[in-house]
């Protein structure tokens, strides 16, 4: 056993400071279209059934929550943004204020973790992915979507983007945190700044053989 002293309070103060950079995720046609595309792809190999437990991490103002509600899943949206929480609750969605890296959710309790454009806001994506893994039951599904670096939009320059990494890095982090990548998707499109790309990964939590 390695005996290392860590003053975790320093990390807490740092995270509190970063939390001030949260901004509302306003609805957009682009994100709504990509969300629907990803959900339809998900249902090809993981059909959502009534009562399934779904955790939408970084739910924004609910582009996926309506879908989960209409499928009669036992869903919960989580976000740090007060404006997003208010907007979701005004639509009747179930949401709670929660940090993606410190989920107040039981181990092995979720069928699906849906995480679009949230992990780039994590200062320690490996830890955050392990947290997603923790709350999924063995065989559960993670959908992770992130912006690509070095596009015309330069997502790596966004003030509260801390982890805008190459695709190979995301693949490695997903595998090291206990996921098997089932398939991926590239979403390429044009915005006023020029060409942009998002990457989506459909993953399964690796079954424990022991």
Residue 123 tokens read as: 């200062």
List, for residues 29-77, the tens digit of each pLDDT value: 999 999 999 999 999 999 999 999 999 999 999 999 999 999 999 999 9
Q: Output the pLDDT for position 9.
A: 85
Q: Output the pLDDT for position 10.
A: 86
CB 88: neighbour CB atoms within 10 A? Answer: 22
Q: Residue ranges of the domains in the chain?
A: 26-205
Residue 207 tokens read as: 């079954």
Going from the C-alpha of 36 to that of each of 10, 12, 33, 74, 97, the distances in angstroms are: 40, 36, 5, 19, 24
List, for residues 109-164, the tens digit of each pLDDT value: 999 999 999 999 999 999 999 999 999 999 999 999 999 999 999 999 998 999 99
- CATH code, residues 26-205: 3.40.50.150
Strand partners, 75: 54
- Count Cα atoms within 13 angstroms, Cβ side, for 32: 7
């Amino acid at each position: 056993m390695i005996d290392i002293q860590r003053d975790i309070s320093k990390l807490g103060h740092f995270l509190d400071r970063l939390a001030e950079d949260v901004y509302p995720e306003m609805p957009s046609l682009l994100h709504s279209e990509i969300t629907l595309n990803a959900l339809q792809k998900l249902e090809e190999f993981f059909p959502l059934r009534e009562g399934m437990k779904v955790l939408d991490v970084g739910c924004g103002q609910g582009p996926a929550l309506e879908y989960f509600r209409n499928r009669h899943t036992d869903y919960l949206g989580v976000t740090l943004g007060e404006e997003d929480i208010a907007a979701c609750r005004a639509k009747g969605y179930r949401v709670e204020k929660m940090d993606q890296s410190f989920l107040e959710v039981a181990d092995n309790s979720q069928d699906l973790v849906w995480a679009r454009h949230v992990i780039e806001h994590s200062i320690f994506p490996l830890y955050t992915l392990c947290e997603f893994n923790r709350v999924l039951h063995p065989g559960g599904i993670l959908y992770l979507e992130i912006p690509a670096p070095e596009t015309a939009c330069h997502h790596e320059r966004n003030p509260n983007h801390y982890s805008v990494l190459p695709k190979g890095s995301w693949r490695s982090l997903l595998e090291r945190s206990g996921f098997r990548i089932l398939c991926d998707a590239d979403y390429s499109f044009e915005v006023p700044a020029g060409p942009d790309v998002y990457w989506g990964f459909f993953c399964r939590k690796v079954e424990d053989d022991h």
